[in-house]
Homo-oligomer: A and B are copies of this chain.
Amino acid sequence: MTTEGTTVKVEAAAGARTTASSTIARGAQRRAAPTLRQVAAAAGVSRATASRVINGGHLVSDHAKQAVEAAIAELGFTPNPVARNLATRRTGSVALVVPEPNARLLSDPFFGSVINGLSLSLEAADLQMLLVIARPGRSHDRAVRYLTTGQVDGAVIASHHREDRLNARLVESGLPCVFVGRPLDVEDSHCVDMDNVGGARLATEYLIEHGRRRIGTVAGPQDMPAGVDRLTGWQEALSAAGLSADAVVHGDFTVPGGAEATRRLLAEHPDLDGIFVASDLMASATLTEVAALGRRVPDDVAVFGFDDLGVASTTTPPLSTVIHPVEAMAARAGTMIVEMLSGIEHAAEPVVFPARLALRASA
> Pick the contact of A2 from B9, B45, B86, B135 — CB < 8 Å?
B45
Using A41-B1, A123-B139, A174-B29 as known contacts, say yes or no to A82 and B86 having CB atoms under 8 A apart. yes
Contacts A82-B82, A82-B86, A130-B131; A11 near B1 (Cβ below 8 A): no
Q: Which of A128-182 contact B (CB under 8 A)?
A: 128-133, 135, 138-139, 142-143, 145-146, 149-151, 173-176
Question: Can you tell how many copies of this chain the complex includes?
Answer: 2
Q: B3 contacts A106, CB within 8 Å?
A: no
Given the complex of chains A and B, what is the CA–CA distance between A2 and B27 in angstroms?
A: 35
List, in ascending order, chain B residues with CB within 8 A of A131's CB: 130-133
> Within 8 Å CB of A31, what residues of B?
174
**A126: Cβ under 8 A from any B Cβ:** yes
Instruction: Report the minimum CB–CB distance from A170 to chain B (whole Å).
Output: 11
Q: How far is the CA of A173 from the CA of B111 in the complex (A)?
A: 31
**CB < 8 Å neighbour of A11 from B4, B29, B129:** B4
Q: Which of A52-60, A112-120, A219-227, A260-268 contacts B (4 or more CB under 8 A)?
A: A112-120
Nearest CB to that of A3 among chain B residues? B13
Q: Is A212 an interface residue (CB 8 A)?
A: no
Q: In the assembled complex, which residues on chain B have CB atoms less than 8 Å from the CB atom of A103?
A: 112, 116
Chain B proximity mask over A19-59: 1 for CB below 8 Å, otherwise 0: 00000011111110100000011001111000000000000
Q: Chain B residues near A149 (CB, 8 Å)?
A: 33, 78, 80-82
A6 contacts partner chain B, Cβ-Cβ < 8 Å: yes
Q: Report if A244 contacts B (CB, 8 A).
A: no
A81 to B144 alpha-carbon distance, docked (Å): 13
What 1/0 mask marks residues of chain A from 313 to 330 whose CB sits below 8 Å from any chain B CB?
Answer: 000000000000000000
Query: Contacts A4-B46, A146-B93, A174-B30; is A119 near B106 (CB within 8 Å)?
Result: no
A73 contacts the other chain (CB 8 A): no
Cβ of A75: which chain B residues have Cβ within 8 Å of it?
Answer: none
A11 to B8, CA, bound (A): 10
Residues of B within 8 A of A119 (CB): 102, 133, 135, 139
Interface residues of A (CB under 8 A from B): 1-13, 15-16, 25-31, 33, 40-41, 44-47, 78, 80-83, 85-86, 91, 93, 102-103, 105-109, 111-113, 115-116, 119, 123, 126, 128-133, 135, 138-139, 142-143, 145-146, 149-151, 173-176, 310, 340-341, 343
6 contacts between A and B (CB under 8 A): A1-B44, A2-B45, A7-B11, A28-B175, A102-B115, A123-B142
